[in-house]
C-alpha cells in the first residue's frame, strides 16, 4: 500500500473511529464496477484513514465495511444485495459493525437500499464521498440509518485524501460526469454533467504521484477526451498529454475512457509525438 503525499496526518480522530477501549476501528472497502470506482475507493479509504480509521488486516473482521457500487455493469444490483445478504448474519452477531453503501447504485436507488436491507447504516452517493466519516459518526450517534444523496458535486473527488493500492501506478481524475445523452447509458444521470479540473491542478497531482514513486499514470473521465469543455478549450486534452510528457520520472501515460467522436487530430498528434 502507498499513501499519497496529500494524505493528512490524523490529529483528532473522529469519535466514531474509536472502539470502546479507545483503539481505532478498522475498515475495508469492496469495489464493484469500473476504473472510476477503483479510484473512488482509494479516496474513500483515504478519507476514512484521515478520520482515524485503520485498514483491516482481516477484511471479514472489519468494524466498517464499505461497498462502492456500480449501476452500469450487468447484475450490479444482484452483486450488491448478494454482498448485503452475506453481511446480514454477521451484523446480527456483531451489532457494533457498520455497513456503508456508496457509488452509482446508491445514487440511483437511494432509500430503496435501506428498505431492502435495513441493516445498512449509511447510504451515500457519487457526489458526496467525502461525507462518509461524518455519516458513520451520525449513524452511530443517532442509532439509525443515514441516507445522504446529493444531486450535484460537493467536492471534486481528487481533492480528497487518497490511499493508493499501487506504489508504481496511480489514477488521476481529470473530469467527472458526461454531457452526452446516449440512450443506453445511465452515467449522466448518476454522475451529472461534465465537470473539469483545471490543468494546473491535474499536473500538480501527477507530479505529487511521481514524486511518491509512480511511473505510470492513468487519466480518468467518463468522457476523458472531451476534457476542457467546461472552461472552453477544445485542445485542453492534447495539451495535457503533452505537458505530462515533460514530467521527469513519468514513464507511461494511459487514459480511459475516450469517445470516438472526440478523438480529434490534435489528440492523435499528441499521442504520436509524446513518448510516454
Residue 236 has pLDDT above 90, yes or no: yes
- What is the CATH classification number for the domain harbouring 82? 3.40.50.280
Residue 160 has pLDDT above 60, yes or no: yes
> 190 and 73 in one domain?
no
Between 17 and 250, the higher pLDDT residue: 250
All 3 cell numbers of residue 232?
A: 472552453
> 132 and 37 in one domain?
yes
In this structure, of 35-44, 150-159, 177-186, 241-250, the range with the lowest mean pLDDT score is: 150-159
Any domain includes 158: no
* Domain range enclosing 43: 2-148
Residue 1 has pLDDT above 50, yes or no: no
Residue 248 to residue 270: CA distance in whole angstroms: 17
DSSP 3-state assignment of 275?
coil
Residue 159 to residue 166: CA distance in whole angstroms: 19
Any domain includes 193: yes
Residue 2 has pLDDT above 70, yes or no: no
Per residue in 201-219, pLDDT (tens digit) is: 999 999 999 999 999 999 9
> 101 and 72 in one domain?
yes
Q: Are 97 and 65 in contact (CB under 8 A)?
A: yes
> 136 and 231 in one domain?
no
Among 85, 118, 148, residue at a domain's last position: 148
Residue 224 has pLDDT above 90, yes or no: yes
**What mean pLDDT value characterizes the chain?**
88
Any domain includes 73: yes
Number of domains in the chain: 2
Any domain includes 38: yes
Residue 60: predicted pLDDT: 87
Q: Are 220 and 41 in contact (CB under 8 A)?
A: no
Residue 6 has pLDDT above 80, yes or no: no
> 17 and 139 in one domain?
yes
Mean pLDDT to the nearest integer, 39-52: 91
Residue 45 to residue 47: CA distance in whole angstroms: 5
All 3 cell numbers of residue 36?
A: 472510476
> 134 and 39 in one domain?
yes
Per residue in 117-145, pLDDT (tens digit) is: 999 999 998 888 889 999 999 999 999 99
Establish whether the linkage from the previous residue to 183 is cis, with ω within 30° of 0: no
Any domain includes 161: no
Closest-CA residue to 3 (of 214, 217, 255): 214
Residue 245 has pLDDT above 80, yes or no: yes
> 129 and 215 in one domain?
no
> 84 and 20 in one domain?
yes
DSSP 3-state assignment of 31?
strand
Establish whether the linkage from the previous residue to 234 is cis, with ω within 30° of 0: no
Distances (CA, A) of 237 to 80, 169, 225, 241: 35, 20, 6, 6
> 107 and 231 in one domain?
no
Q: Are 222 and 36 in contact (CB under 8 A)?
A: yes
In this structure, of 82-96, 152-166, 238-252, the range with the lowest mean pLDDT score is: 152-166
Any domain includes 154: no
- What is the CATH classification number for the domain harbouring 264? 3.30.750.210
Any domain includes 48: yes
> 135 and 239 in one domain?
no
> 115 and 242 in one domain?
no
Residue 182: predicted pLDDT: 83
Residue 28 has pLDDT above 90, yes or no: yes
Residues 39, 186, 132, 231: is their CA dihedral positive or negative? positive
Amino acid at each position: 500500500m502507498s499513501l499519497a503525499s496529500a494524505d493528512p496526518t490524523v490529529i483528532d480522530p473522529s469519535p466514531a473511529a474509536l472502539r470502546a477501549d479507545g483503539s481505532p476501528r478498522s475498515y475495508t472497502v469492496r469495489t464493484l464496477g469500473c476504473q472510476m470506482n477503483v479510484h473512488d475507493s482509494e479516496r474513500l479509504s483515504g478519507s476514512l484513514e484521515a478520520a482515524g480509521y485503520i485498514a483491516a488486516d482481516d477484511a471479514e473482521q472489519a468494524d466498517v465495511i464499505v461497498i462502492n457500487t456500480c449501476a452500469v455493469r450487468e447484475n450490479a444490483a444482484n452483486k450488491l444485495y448478494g454482498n448485503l445478504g452475506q453481511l446480514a448474519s454477521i451484523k446480527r452477531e456483531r451489532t457494533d459493525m457498520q455497513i456503508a453503501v456508496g457509488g452509482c447504485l446508491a445514487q440511483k436507488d437511494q432509500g430503496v437500499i435501506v428498505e431492502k436491507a435495513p441493516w445498512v447504516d449509511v447510504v451515500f452517493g457519487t457526489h458526496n464521498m467525502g461525507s462518509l466519516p461524518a455519516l458513520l459518526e451520525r449513524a452511530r450517534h443517532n442509532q439509525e440509518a443515514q441516507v445522504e444523496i446529493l444531486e450535484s458535486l460537493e467536492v471534486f473527488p481528487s481533492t480528497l485524501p487518497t490511499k493508493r493500492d499501487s506504489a508504481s501506478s496511480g489514477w488521476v481524475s481529470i473530469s467527472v460526469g458526461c454531457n452526452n445523452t446516449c440512450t443506453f447509458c445511465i452515467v449522466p444521470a448518476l454522475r451529472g454533467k461534465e465537470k473539469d479540473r483545471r490543468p494546473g491542478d491535474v499536473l500538480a497531482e501527477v507530479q505529487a504521484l511521481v514524486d511518491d514513486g509512480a511511473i505510470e499514470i492513468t487519466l480518468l473521465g467518463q468522457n476523458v477526451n472531451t476534457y476542457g469543455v467546461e472552461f472552453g478549450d477544445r485542445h485542453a486534452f492534447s495539451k495535457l498529454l503533452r505537458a505530462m510528457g515533460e514530467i521527469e520520472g513519468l514513464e507511461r501515460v494511459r487514459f480511459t475512457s475516450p469517445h470516438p467522436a472526440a478523438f480529434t487530430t490534435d489528440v492523435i498528434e499528441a499521442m504520436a509525438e509524446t513518448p510516454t
